[in-house]
Chain A
């Protein structure tokens, strides 16, 4: 053990005295620290802002004066997705899926960005998210620091001297691996601290613990790869070229190939195409604003029969409100069908791309990181579904108010004069039908189960690296 420690210490001393490695490590750590801080501030700000906007939207809705209930259906409402605690490290899909939705009757709007500062310098820097830096740049830093760890000793002949002091290859490799892991841990440290902070901000410690373990495995995998290649190479230049090539393939090419393959295998119809298909379906449903639309004949005769009356005027309820409810339900079913199909397509694409985690640890850690952090496509879809549920509920509640609390005749006469229009209103206390919205990611356990496959991918890579290092040890020339 003490020999391994000596070798590790000497490696650190070498990095420190030759300055190159230490410069690389410090640069990396500073970059990651800066990114963690900028992101944490940005996310914290966004969180407060969205909570505030959510609250403001709810109050604004509740404070509307007496009105015709259908005007409130069109007045609409906003919901905001508050960021998950770990999104300070891993913004995931949050950075391109939009975080707020305008909810109104008869439509499902797409998510937009809530923040106005979208293109400011701060947010542009935050696209260098800590997760990106650790997933893509940290391996490059480890390559720069470690590519010569064994070849340097071979070239200088000192590996031979080490061996003739009775040191085994296993000792040399283990000592150098620990040294390299130390550098990796330094790069990981800002992220570990940020995870602990997320834990402190309400994330479950099981989640942050697993999250950190996932990244530790990733760093371990890269340290092992770098060391193994250095052990198998005869010259530092060959080791460097090989590792840079490997980095380009694993961190740049395979992820790109993954998403291209996903897009090719699971093509999603264009937005316009999908919109036309929806419109086509909706046209068949009739216009819910027009109670005499022939599409509602069946509904009308059923109702008249149910109440045993001859005309809609005789009904104890406001037929226009009934139609609004009926048509909103039909329309929502159609919209939901299309939305589910689209989400399923997006998810299949994402899953195909995630299979490439068996080909690259960078893909594996990316999937794992997003899912566990609660910034994955799955979480976004849940936001869309919850927002839709809220939309449907408040629209239908208003339609029910329309049906039950506004007289049909008064309603029909609403556009005759200023006087009649004033009469066709309901009390503002009815606006309390809107329930408050607060979005939280799935429970920690659920996210860990969802991310399980990608945790297994990381373990698979860990196994591959252990085998690789064993091979490197046996094949390592002195």
Chain B
């Protein structure tokens, strides 16, 4: 059995008496790409944040790499990389400076050429690398943040809507990247509302609706998960 990297057991989160997550359980193994799929407000981001300690569960538990989020969040944060839903970086810094700064906060000093090759890998146009981030488009920021997540060289990546804001070719490149990372042993937990994209890259898909897992789809062999089946199930619930 593969190592269990990300585990949710009966996870519940309540905001102001409103149950956003209601007893969610799943496990993500090492080297696996797991996608949590759901409509707007389904609770996807909340589920993801439960592993980063920025949301406190009202019931159940979450753990990463065998470490409990409740008690060992500081250790977890040093081991994982997180791509937030809306990318928050500094407008007063350039793309490269942003990456340098946040890496240094994680205790990583990365050589310039390593940062540049990561930016190349996420296909951020070269003339933007040393320009102020305040002039970046949403997609460019997204790519910068993905490069940052890559450079963290974390065994587990938490990605919240990673392809939002990217153009189709960038999405293809991104999907390629995720597949490579997973084959190299990284564990990827992503949330998305893009059925097609998720089916392309995920080994498993959990369908989240109104705070509950309402379906699980698994890849058989090397074939992508059947988009039709997921889509049918998804649109039944999201109209």
Is chain B found bound to chain A in the same assembly? yes
Query: Any chain A CB within 8 A of the CB of B177?
Result: no
User: Is the CB–CB distance between A6 and B84 below 8 Å?
Assistant: no
Interface string of B83-94 (1 = CB under 8 A from A): 010101110110
Identify which of A10-18, A276-284, A312-320 touches chain B. Answer: A10-18
- Residues on A with beta carbons closer than 8 Å to the beta carbon of B34: none
Identify which of B23-31, B99-107, B111-119 touches chain A. Answer: B99-107
Query: Any chain B CB within 8 A of the CB of A237?
Result: no
Of A10, A18, A161, A168, which is within 8 A of B84 by CB?
A161
- Residues on A with beta carbons closer than 8 Å to the beta carbon of B106: 165-167
B98 to nearest A CB, angstroms? 10
**Cα–Cα, bound, A157→B84 (Å):** 9
Query: Any chain B CB within 8 A of the CB of A290?
Result: no
A 152-178 contacts with B by CB, 8 A: 156-158, 160-168
Identify which of B74-82, B121-129, B193-201 touches chain A. Answer: B74-82
B150 to nearest A CB, angstroms? 14
Q: With A160-B54, A478-B54 known to touch, is A165 a contact of B105 (CB < 8 Å)?
A: yes
A33 to nearest B CB, angstroms? 28
Of A158, A160, A478, which is within 8 A of B90 by CB?
A158
User: Is the CB–CB distance between A17 and B89 below 8 Å?
Assistant: no
Query: Any chain A CB within 8 A of the CB of B52?
Result: yes
- Residues on B with beta carbons closer than 8 Å to the beta carbon of A164: 52, 54, 77, 80, 82, 84
Of B53, B86, B105, which is within 8 A of A162 by CB?
B105
Which interface class (under 10, 10 to 19, 20 to 34, 35 or more) fits A?
A: 20 to 34
Of A10, A13, A157, A165, which is within 8 A of B77 by CB?
A165
- Residues on A with beta carbons closer than 8 Å to the beta carbon of B101: 6, 10
Apart from A163-B53, A166-B78: 18 A-B pairs, beta carbons within 8 A: A2-B107, A3-B104, A6-B104, A7-B105, A13-B93, A14-B90, A158-B88, A160-B54, A160-B84, A161-B84, A162-B102, A164-B52, A164-B80, A164-B82, A164-B84, A166-B106, A166-B107, A167-B106
Q: Tell me the nearest residue of chain B to A17, going by C-beta.
A: B92
Q: With A17-B92, A157-B86 known to touch, is A163 a contact of B77 (CB < 8 Å)?
A: yes
**Cα–Cα, bound, A3→B77 (Å):** 14
| Chain A residues with a Cβ under 8 A of chain B | 2-3, 6-7, 10, 13-14, 17-18, 156-158, 160-168, 478
**Cα–Cα, bound, A2→B108 (Å):** 11
Interface string of B56-88 (1 = CB under 8 A from A): 000000000000000000100110101010101
User: Is the CB–CB distance between B74 and A166 below 8 Å?
Assistant: yes
**Cα–Cα, bound, A291→B84 (Å):** 101
Q: Tell me the nearest residue of chain A to B101, going by C-beta.
A: A10
Q: Which of B74, B90, B106 has the most CB of A within 10 A?
A: B90
> Which 5 pairs of residues, A with B, have the shortest CB-CB distance?
A157-B88, A166-B78, A166-B77, A165-B106, A165-B105
Q: Tell me the nearest residue of chain A to B78, going by C-beta.
A: A166
- Residues on B with beta carbons closer than 8 Å to the beta carbon of A165: 77, 102-103, 105-106, 152
Between A and B, 12 residue pairs with Cβ closer than 8 Å are: A10-B93, A17-B92, A156-B88, A156-B90, A157-B88, A160-B54, A161-B88, A163-B53, A164-B52, A165-B105, A165-B106, A167-B105
Of B74, B80, B89, B92, which is within 8 A of A18 by CB?
B92
B 27-55 contacts with A by CB, 8 A: 52-54
- Residues on B with beta carbons closer than 8 Å to the beta carbon of A6: 101, 104-105
- Residues on A with beta carbons closer than 8 Å to the beta carbon of B80: 164
Q: Which of A2, A156, A162, A167 has the most CB of B within 10 A?
A: A167
**Cα–Cα, bound, A166→B72 (Å):** 11
User: Is the CB–CB distance between B105 and A3 below 8 Å?
Assistant: yes
- Residues on B with beta carbons closer than 8 Å to the beta carbon of A156: 88, 90
**Cα–Cα, bound, A3→B105 (Å):** 5
